[in-house]
Homo-oligomer: A and B are copies of this chain.
Amino acid sequence: MELWFSERHTKNVQFSIRTDKQLFSAQSPFQRVDIFESVEFGRFLTLDGYMMLTEKDEFIYHEMIVHPAMAVNPDIENVLVIGAGDGGVARELTRYASVKTIDVVEIDEMVIDVCKKYLPQTARGFDDPRVSVLIQDGLKYIRSVEDRYDLIIVDSTDPFGPGEGLFTKEFYGNCFKALKDDGIMVNQHESPFYENDAIAMQRAHKRIVKCFPISRVYQAHIPTYPSGHWLFGFASKRYHPVGDLDEAKWNGLKLSTKYYNTKLHAGAFALPNYVWALLKDVE
């Protein structure tokens, strides 16, 4: 039997994965949730038909959304994670003994339940007692929070559907307010390559630049996302993402990582000229 999952990266580009089985499929109040089994990527989660993570390459996304900020400020204690119902961000954060609280605010309980059942590789992030899960709209949650977090990680879906509000100026402004004086916000920033992704990336960057004094973008190779060239935003009240990197301290922690290292950290912020041009356009 041939069973292929296909995602349109644009209306003219399609990426397809041979699957063994569809392990789960349901409509939550927010989105369609599916889990597939595949030979190439292991299990993978899709939301509304868009690839969220595969067992084979989720380590890249989760390491790169967590470790750069932790290496810039090793004193981070209180972290807010918005989205990330798969548990992968929490898993990486729990590796730091210095982290005291991790609040995960996920709008869709079904994502958490399904990941706990089918994707224990990421969902074990929820097992740590420092992790609190709040089933709530992150956009609303953040409105009432002030001066509480050292780090906010916005692990949103794409800027349409339930994740849409997480790309607005109101939301970024509230993140600023929820952060302490030396707070950092990291968000997934879409991709620079295909036109619609690049427009979303520029829109997010423009809004973040208006809210934070320091706002830089870094990149990673994530093969199962459109174009494989994925960006993250590093926004901060005080720390420079490269100048304030404490290489020795982070390396002293002896964390074993498969993608991230402190040399790559600086390299990830060295963007291609065409990406710089897209960012400069909106700064």
Contacts and interface: CB of A to CB of B under 8 A. Distances in A.
Contacts of A260: 272-273
A207 interface: no
Contacts of A38: 12
A261 B270 CA distance: 9
Interface residues of A, number: 40
Nearest to A17: B13
A221 B40 CA distance: 21
Residue among A39, A194, A258, A273 with most chain B CB within 10 A:
A273
Interface in A38-61: 38-40, 57, 60
A270 B259 contact: no
A23 interface: no
A229 interface: yes
A223 to B, nearest CB: 4
A274 interface: yes
20 contacts: A10-B40, A12-B17, A12-B18, A12-B38, A13-B17, A14-B14, A14-B15, A14-B18, A16-B16, A60-B272, A219-B221, A221-B221, A221-B272, A257-B273, A259-B272, A260-B272, A261-B270, A263-B270, A266-B266, A266-B270
